[in-house]
Structure 1
Amino acid sequence: MDMMLGPEAETNMADVNEKAIKMEEEEEPLDEKKPTNPKDEAAEQKKREILEACKARDFAALRALAASPGGFLTDTIRQQAWPLLLGIPPLNPDTKPEQEEEEDNSWKFLPRHKDEDQVQLDVNRAFVYYPNDQNDTQLSHSKTLLSTLITRTLRHHPYLSYFQGYHDICQVLLLTLPPPLQPAALAHLSLLRIRDFMLPNLLPAISQLRLLPDILRSSDPTLWRHLSSTEPFFALSGTLTMYAHDITTLGEITRLFDILLSRDPVFSLYLFAAIVRSRREELLDIPEEEPEMLHSVLSKLPQPLDIEGLISCAVELERRYPPEGLRSWKGEISRWSVLKTGRGEGVYNQGLEEGREAFERQVRELEWRERVKRVRGVVRRNRGVVRGVGVAVLVGVLGVLLRRYGSYYHQPGYGFYGEKGGMLEYVMGLVGRWWVR
């Protein structure tokens, strides 16, 4: 018996015990599993909240979720949220493929849009930064899809004017949304979100820029004074293209679209104000006597871009300094501008006909402004004649207009004319309000 308990037997027992101990260490008890990553749990919870908000059409919740870090998180979720925010009716599951194809091809038989040549020039320069994994054949196909999307929209809405940079916006929709949703998404975006930029001229876009100094004046007077010699045209590229022309990664621009589509169109200007404020120290180091240098710095987005920080700052700026309290809101912004027609949750429920009606009224308003400008020029060139015989005629016209259209002057939203208080401005203001109606 003693022979069986020799060194070899002891070694074998030791090996068995060591293996048993090792297996026991490697095997985790069922009640002591490693916890799930808290970030993953938070992301899953947020996904559920976004989808629930979409299902319930809870726009207030979507606004809050879009402003929180990460926005709508993934393109799959964006395909649920973006169409809802743009007011697009859901896809009809009963639509047959041949019906969809017939509808898709109908645009080809519509008259050619006046800007199609420029569209093609811009499309040829598209997809510079993203996606960056396409070969030449795939890139050519993507450009064909982009050209089709833009041309189709313009032919269906021929009164819209194309602007350079529009293709950058369309590119984001093309790469994010499924094909059946793209045409409706672009039409609603064009007429209800960026309509001011698709008018016959860029005056309404420039009027929007006047709000930027007002935001800075209210939120940072020192910085505003330092930049007062610089026109806000440095913000045109960013605000005109929803920042799609200036941001070079798809992840960043889709994240930014989350917040831009979930909030009122005016938010884009608050976002640029946040960008300016984020560069405060750099800008204050540049002498204010060098407006060209200031313009050069401001016209380029900072790198790297702290998107989450900028969004948080812009949300706070809009909360503290709403557009209705800004100096230029009444005098510079038309009542038919998307900045005013797109205020509040009503923007999510507007239709294309409402957008077209506002477009036509704003065009008439622009035409009237041009007439007023020409009349003022004639008056300045003929001051002597006006002093001699014009006052009596002007008083007579004023009396008629006051009796017939005087009530229009007090309607809200018509602060576009007559701000200087002179008789000519007052009369022209009354006539102008009648004209655009």
Structure 2
Amino acid sequence: MKKAKRPKNNARCRVNDSGAAAGDSWRKQKLLEIHKALHSDPVDVETLRRAAVSQGGLLTDELRRKVWPKLLNINVYDLPYKPGRDVRENHKDYNQVLLDVRRSMKRFPKGMPITQRAVLQEQLIDIMLEVLKHNPQLHYYQGYHDMAVTLLLVVGERTAIAMLHTLSNHHLRDFMDPTMDSTKHILNYLMPILEQVDADLHDFMIRAEVGTIFALSWLITWYGHVLSEFRHTLRLYDFFLASHPLMPIYLAASIVLHREREVKDTECDMAMVHHLLSRIPQDLPYECLIGRSHALFDQYPPSLLAKRAALQSRKSLSISSFQAFQLSTLHQRPDTVLQHLNKAKGSSTSRRGFESALAKDGGSLWGKGNRMVKVAVWGLSATLGAAAFAVVQTAMDWGPEVLLQLF
């Protein structure tokens, strides 16, 4: 692959850069390329990765539901785990998970009815505990729920469990050790990147003794915790799911470099610089920053940065397993084939299934008169993700009987 040109020290992305191109021809062409890659046998994962990284990302949530699992080698027609409530009170992390989920209101779409959000929060708890139950070597961290809720809102409960399981054992693995040592190791890649690109900015931050803790929440939540616009979070998830586990650190470096003038104009004091950097602007030019991060990764790969003494003392599980993980994604069958192969297993949800679930449901989130809607919403969000809620909202205005006609 041809090496990217070294970014200029003073190169900055324009704030009003929205990543839009003239006309819709590029978008139509990209949609065709993604659909062609999805229907190739085996699936053309390399094309899907390029699409996720390049301008506009995966474009729609409908495509994300199809492409995200392929990027992680997940067969959505043969998901290994089913959510259950049996693990809740007996799991060591249940109380902390419950507290974090209760504080997660801002991560749900604005205007979502309380009843719908309550269902999703229950699913969010089940998703995380299910993954932790099957992976006792993993340790919950605060911010894990920010990862889980993004997956839930896009792909639904069942697929979110499978995706979070894979991510937890690969991209997020260093964050899930019993101590913060591995996480600190990943954060330690930030300053060497800055030193390579802008020595003056690097030296300023060293003198200020600001460290890298300001980027901690960015890294462990893939920026989901700090961004107010969900569409920006989704764009970054496209990028990170298709990239090396260290790419969030390269994006952090790109953001700091983008704010070079602000940083240097700040008093060279730890508290002042930390205060500035820890409050991430909401109007960042994401497409430009993604492109710059990709270029930085090509020019200063982790292997080059790791030659520094501070990065040689510890081995990253995320980094060491990434090449084998990427290779494992290259021999997937298209969904049309997988659906045919798994059709006999009766994976589709039917009205009978909902009625059976309703008979067993003793939930108290909604009143007895609304249980039918609750179960239907649960089923929709478990299989379709956030896109279902536009349909659900309309159907709820008409009544439960209309909602059930969707199945």
Fold match, TM over 0.5? yes
Cα deviation, 1:110-147, whole Å, max 9, x if unaligned, reads: 98321111000000011315311222212211211111
Amino acid at match of 1:72: L
Moved more, 336-345 or 305-314: 336-345
Q: Specify the alignment match of 2:71 in structure 1.
A: 85
Distance 1:208 1:109 in 2: 32
Distance 1:191 1:207 in 2: 17
Q: Specify the alignment match of 1:55 in structure 2.
A: 39
**Counterparts of residues 340-419 of structure 1 (less than 5 Å):** 340-343=320-323, 346=326, 349=329
Q: Which runs of 5+ in 2 are unaligned?
A: 1-20, 331-407
SS of aligned partner of 1:200:
coil
Q: Specify the alignment match of 1:321 in structure 2.
A: 300
How far residue 343 of structure 1 moved from its aligned partner, in angstroms, is 4.1
Cα deviation, 1:25-68, whole Å, max 9, x if unaligned, reads: xxxxxxxxxxxx97333212211111222334333322322222
Name which of 122, 125, 134 aligns with 1:147: 125
Distance 2:311 2:301 in 1: 16
Cα deviation, 1:221-246, whole Å, max 9, x if unaligned, reads: 11111111221111111001111111
Distance 1:134 1:141 in 2: 11
Asked if structure 2 preserves the Cα contact closer than 8 Å seen for 1:129 and 1:249, the reply is no
Distance 1:129 1:109 in 2: 24
Asked if structure 2 preserves the Cα contact closer than 8 Å seen for 1:71 and 1:259, the reply is yes
Asked if structure 2 preserves the Cα contact closer than 8 Å seen for 1:83 and 1:185, the reply is yes
Name which of 156, 167, 183 aligns with 1:189: 167
Asked if structure 2 preserves the Cα contact closer than 8 Å seen for 1:59 and 1:345, the reply is no
Distance 2:163 2:181 in 1: 25
Amino acid at match of 1:116: Y
Q: Is 1:244 matched up with 2:228?
A: no
Q: 1:187 to 1:217 in 2, by over 3 A?
A: same
Name which of 73, 76, 92 aligns with 2:59: 73
SS of aligned partner of 1:47:
helix
Distance 1:314 1:307 in 2: 10
Distance 1:139 1:244 in 2: 18
Q: Specify the alignment match of 2:24 in structure 1.
A: 40
State the Cα RMSD in Å.
Answer: 2.4
Distance 1:138 1:284 in 2: 46
Identity %: 32
Q: Specify the alignment match of 1:292 in structure 2.
A: 271
How far residue 303 of structure 1 moved from its aligned partner, in angstroms, is 2.9
How far residue 169 of structure 1 moved from its aligned partner, in angstroms, is 0.7
Asked if structure 2 preserves the Cα contact closer than 8 Å seen for 1:66 and 1:258, the reply is yes
Q: Which runs of 5+ in 1 are unaligned?
A: 1-36, 351-437
Distance 1:189 1:280 in 2: 32
Which structure carries more helix by proportion?
A: 1
Q: Which protein, 1 or 2, shows the higher relative CO under an 8 Å CA cutoff with sep ≥ 6?
A: 2
How far residue 345 of structure 1 moved from its aligned partner, in angstroms, is 6.5
Asked if structure 2 preserves the Cα contact closer than 8 Å seen for 1:223 and 1:280, the reply is yes
Asked if structure 1 preserves the Cα contact closer than 8 Å seen for 2:87 and 2:129, the reply is no
What TM-score results when the alignment is normalised by the length of structure 2?
Answer: 0.70
Asked if structure 1 preserves the Cα contact closer than 8 Å seen for 2:83 and 2:127, the reply is no
Higher Cα radius of gyration:
1
SS of aligned partner of 1:159:
coil
Cα deviation, 1:240-262, whole Å, max 9, x if unaligned, reads: 11111111121110111000000
Q: 1:179 to 1:314 in 2, by over 3 A?
A: same
Q: Specify the alignment match of 1:28 in structure 2.
A: none
Distance 1:302 1:328 in 2: 32
How far residue 105 of structure 1 moved from its aligned partner, in angstroms, is 5.0
Asked if structure 1 preserves the Cα contact closer than 8 Å seen for 2:88 and 2:94, the reply is no
Distance 1:74 1:104 in 2: 27
Asked if structure 2 preserves the Cα contact closer than 8 Å seen for 1:192 and 1:347, the reply is no
Q: Specify the alignment match of 1:427 in structure 2.
A: none
Q: 1:208 to 1:234 in 2, by over 3 A?
A: same
Q: Specify the alignment match of 1:255 in structure 2.
A: 235
Cα deviation, 1:366-422, whole Å, max 9, x if unaligned, reads: xxxxxxxxxxxxxxxxxxxxxxxxxxxxxxxxxxxxxxxxxxxxxxxxxxxxxxxxx
